Structure 1
Amino acid sequence: MRHNIHLGVTGLRQTGKTVFLTSLIYQLSELGSKGLSRFEPSGVTLRAATIEHSRDRDKERFPYMGFLKGLREKPPRWPAPTSRESGLVLRFFYENQGARGKVDTVRNWVGLGKSQGTIALHLHDYPGEYLLDAGMHDMTFEEWSSETMDRMANYCPDEAAEYRKAVEAADNRAAANILRSLRTAYARYAQAARRQGLEFIQPAMTLISWNERCDSSDQLPEPTEDELPFVPLPSSSDSEDESDSEIEQLRKQLTASFDKHKKRRVKPFLKRIRKCNNQLVLVDVLRILQNGKHAYNDTRQCIAEILRAYHTAWKPFGGINRALFAATKADHATKNSRSNMSKLLDALVTKAKGQLKGGIRTPESEWFTSIRVTKDAKERDGEKREVLNGTVKGRAEGPLNYLCGKVPPEWPNDENWVFGNPAYAFTEFEPTQLPTIDGSLWPHVNLDRVIWKILEGCF
């Protein structure tokens, strides 16, 4: 039998999308199912895959070889974050020695015993920020402005107040000057939100390059027109005789830019992700724990927007029909608390799951580590305690034993759960140098379970 799986892989900033894809491609192209313990009891064997170009001309080739080289250098480098769409195809043969009789999609009986076939796994890597703009598809500029202004006031009240002052000071000024001052004020809000670990900052698609400039600069960079083509405006209460004022002229300009963004960026993207019948969304629950309740509420909204985008892209025949959410960086938490990551992830997506309609299956949850960079240890400073052994990010010495945070079984619900609370601090680690010999096993945690869930419908 022949199977085609179109897998969209996404997640918010720094969730490990490129690391996952690099690890997945290496595993399937070099090893097949070797070392994937989840496959053994099922009697499924995967042969090593061939790597092919994607047939989608609008998509760049995922730079796998460059990322592989960086992970093998001394010192090793993490792959660069996802900033644009890319992809490739893995084609491999499978054999199922433990197959049982089942009925396939066209109601034909697949016999008892051995089954075999080929799988073409089409990988589509795209920034999670693209999904955050999908909700604009059904919104007007006025509706978007109202929601954005409310979000600003809720999460960053000081910056929201400054933004309103910039709007109120706009009288008798040229539209270009008004827009320049509003872009600056909105950039201050975006920076403050980012510092709190917030992600839902729109227009997310175009702000990716500005976010990259922020990460590489000590000063707040001024967003360009391409990076911030429109900003929110409060609802107009002007009388008719003021309809030609500069602020109303600006409103017309921003409305046109908003509609252009939907037409040229949002709608084409939704059309492209319809091709991905399976979606994998990576979530960094440890980062949310560190950043506090504002980050939690913000991420819940992000996940709701992601599932809303999937629902918008769904169609009765074909299109998105399955989503898997996975908590990443499990090796950054102590061993006995890692399984709680799945509980936290389930709680995070519960509301959004209940709002799903159409033919999309209820999303599943998993926790894993694509490339393990720590080892479990039981001693620090002569005391017996659960610790992690690794090289801390930014430090030359190592690997050493470090006390690290434990993942609670449920999300905190108290006033002390705020950004920077040491009770929920998790250490960031540098990558470990990977074997330079092709075909060597890479260390991971539960990667086999994630791969199985991606492919299990074929067996």
Structure 2
Amino acid sequence: MKSIKQEVNDFLYRSMDSHVRIAVTGLSRAGKTAFITSLVNQLLHTSTHQQLPLLSAARDKRLIGAKREPQSNMMVPRFAYDDAMMQLQGAEPNWPEPTRDVSEIRLALKYKPTKRTKKLISSTATLHLDIIDYPGEWLLDLPLLDMEFEAWAESQFAALKGLRLELAKPWLDALQTIDLDAEVSEQQLQEISQLYTDYLKACKDQGLHWVQPGRFVLPGELEGAPVLQFFPCRITDEHKVVRGSNLAMLKARYHEYQTKVVKAFYKQHFSTFDRQIILVDCLQPLNAGYDSFMDMRAALEQLMHSFKYGRSNLLKRLFAPRIDKILFAATKADHVTPDQHANLVSLLQQMVHPAWQTASFENIEISCMSMASIQATQSGFIANNGKSTPAIQGTTLAGDAMTVYPGEVPNKLPSAAYWQKQGFEFTAFRPMSSHHDEPLPHIRVDKVLEYLIGDKLK
């Protein structure tokens, strides 16, 4: 009964344009957990602090306050906001544990409306904000819905070049031992699937971001399930599938993965999003090298192929919500000096340029920004041979105080020569200490909020 009542309420909120679902994604280590924690923390402090000058409703003192509400989807884990805050505000602040599954948190934002239609109803209005966190690796799987097993397998073999080919060697060696037409051996399928999974995880560890299937590296509740125990193999479209064979089982598991995992994720979650923010860590790939950087760009392109674009009129929002705003955010802006922030945004724009062209053609609003969800460094200047040089200062993950100039961020896609000549020195820092009664320090989270929900607070 309570669930039905909540669904009715959500329908009414949406009909009055007072409900928005924002999806937060990004590839591993992009900073999703830190971002959602900071976003919630900033909004919860709006009644007592003026920490969001770039959010117009807060700047104009129209944002009265925010509170947490029970989420409407009871089948999705709650985002662990309290646990994250405990880690951030401990005696030695640490970054919160990353989430590895879908999670959700809901806020109610009370504000003074400026739109005449809302003002006629009441002097105050409420925006119900759902924030949904999901792994970007899962989004990389959506193209599988349009691929038969043979086509997917061929795409995986086509990618085996350079470092990928080297990392895949144990799996490729094991692949030579299986007879695809023999009676199914679940033990052998499990062993080779594990080697394929190890290969995908090794790709991620080496800074390569395009991995399929994404659930193999972030399985969530499916860990150990047979639906995650298949792998590519070299076959032709004409290869006759013997009933009860190893190949028949591989294809059956792939089909089950398509329908019960990928399609289910699209139906239950992805198709319900109104707005999307994609967090991108440009700095780690710059640190890792050319292959890692270009692989991330390819992964971002794959990500964007999955979006259903289009502006939402009222009827579409009620019955078939569509993503009408996408924001790419370059995270960890505090890990470079402020004079490099513009280059960071320019580099991100270059990385997502093909996706930007597609979105613009579909009349969707898209933007790029740089930000730091939770500030980890302070910026300043140091004297160097009589000259003043910009620098950042913070505490490394090992607990050492450090002042460093990380280097210049290229404002365009760098060639391989960039890493041969200079490269980039990325140092990971702990979050700065913050008081329990104070909002977390940030850089431009308010600008992100203005883009995502500023129009809903009018």
Counterpart of 1:444 (choices 422, 433, 442) is: 442
Q: For residues 227 and 77 of structure 1, do their structure 2 counterparts lie closer, same or farther at Cα, with a shift above 3 Å needed? A: farther
The equivalent position to 1:385 in structure 2, one of 380, 386, 389, is: 389
Structure 2 match to 1:348 = 351
Residue correspondence of structure 1 range 39-118 to structure 2 within 5 A: 39=55, 43=60, 45-95=62-112, 117-118=125-126
SS at match of 2:454: helix
Cα 1:340–1:381 shift into 2, 3 Å: closer
Q: 2:404 aligns with which of 391, 402, 405?
A: 402
1:109 is displaced (CA, Å) by 7.2
Q: Aligned in 2, Cα 1:122/1:191: closer, same or farther, shift over 3 Å?
A: closer
Distance 2:363 2:28 in 1: 25
Name the SS of the counterpart of 1:82 in structure 2. coil
* Partner AA of 2:394 in structure 1: G
SS state at 1:338 partner: helix
- Say if 1:409 and 1:36 are closer, same or farther in 2 by CA, change over 3 A: same
User: Is 2:295 aligned against 1:278?
Assistant: no
Let me know the Cα RMSD of the aligned residues.
3.2
Corresponding residue for 2:136? Answer: 128
Counterpart-to-counterpart distance in 1, 2:73 and 2:363: 24
Q: How many correspondences in the alignment?
A: 428
**Amino acid in structure 2 at the alignment position of 1:342:** V
Q: Tell me, in whole angstroms, the C-alpha distance in 2 between the residues paired with 1:456 and 1:304.
A: 27
CA distance in 2, matches of 1:23, 1:126: 17
Residues of 1 paired with 2:124 and 2:393: CA distance? 42
Answer yes or no: is 1:337 the counterpart of 2:345: no
Displacement, 1:40?
5.3
Shift of 1:144: 0.8
Q: Which residue of 1 aligns with 2:157?
A: 149
Q: Contact 2:201–2:217 at 8 Å: present in 1 too?
A: no
Q: 1:320 touches 1:360 (CA, 8 Å); kept in 2?
A: no
Query: Is 1:299 the equivalent of 2:293?
Result: no
- The alpha-carbon deviation at position 360 of structure 1 amounts to 6.3
- Per-residue CA deviation, residues 14-51 of structure 1 (Å, 9 max, x unaligned), is 11111111111111112257221113597363122010
Change (3 A) 1:67 1:239: closer
Note closer, same or farther for the CA distance 1:269–1:180 as it changes in structure 2 (3 Å cut). Answer: closer
Q: Distance in 1 between matches of 2:239 and 2:219?
A: 39
Q: Retained in 1: the 8 A contact 2:394–2:403? A: yes
- Post-superposition Cα deviations, 1:230-265, rounded to whole Å, max 9, x if no partner, equal 11111248876xx649xx922211111111111111
Structure 1 residues 109 and 244, CA, compared in 2 at 3 Å: closer, same or farther?
Answer: closer
Q: Describe how 1:163-202 pairs up with structure 2 within 5 A.
A: 163-171=171-179, 175-202=185-212
Change (3 A) 1:313 1:227: farther
| Whole-Å separation in 1 of the counterparts to 2:228 and 2:118 | 55
- The one-letter code matched in structure 2 to 1:59 is V
TM-score, normalised to structure 2, is 0.84
Deviation of the 1:189 alpha carbon: 2.5
8 Å CA contact 1:321–1:359 kept in 2: the answer is no
Counting aligned pairs with the same residue, the percent is 27
Q: Is the 8 A contact 1:282 1:325 kept in 2?
A: yes
**Separation in 1, partners of 2:197, 2:261:** 21
Change (3 A) 1:415 1:46: same
Whole-Å separation in 2 of the counterparts to 1:14 and 1:327? 12
| Change in 2 beyond 3 A, CA 1:44/1:186 | same
Residue 323 of structure 1 aligns with which residue?
326
Closer, same or farther: CA 151–95 of 1 in aligned 2, 3 Å: same
Unaligned runs of 5+ in 1: 103-107, 213-222
Task: Identify the residue that residue 259 of structure 1 maps to in structure 2.
Answer: 255
| Gap regions ≥5 residues in structure 2 | 1-15
The residue identity in structure 1 corresponding to 2:44 is: S
The structure-2 alpha-carbon separation of the partners of 1:130 and 1:244, relative to structure 1 and needing over 3 Å to count, comes to closer
Q: Which amino acid aligns with 1:354?
A: Q
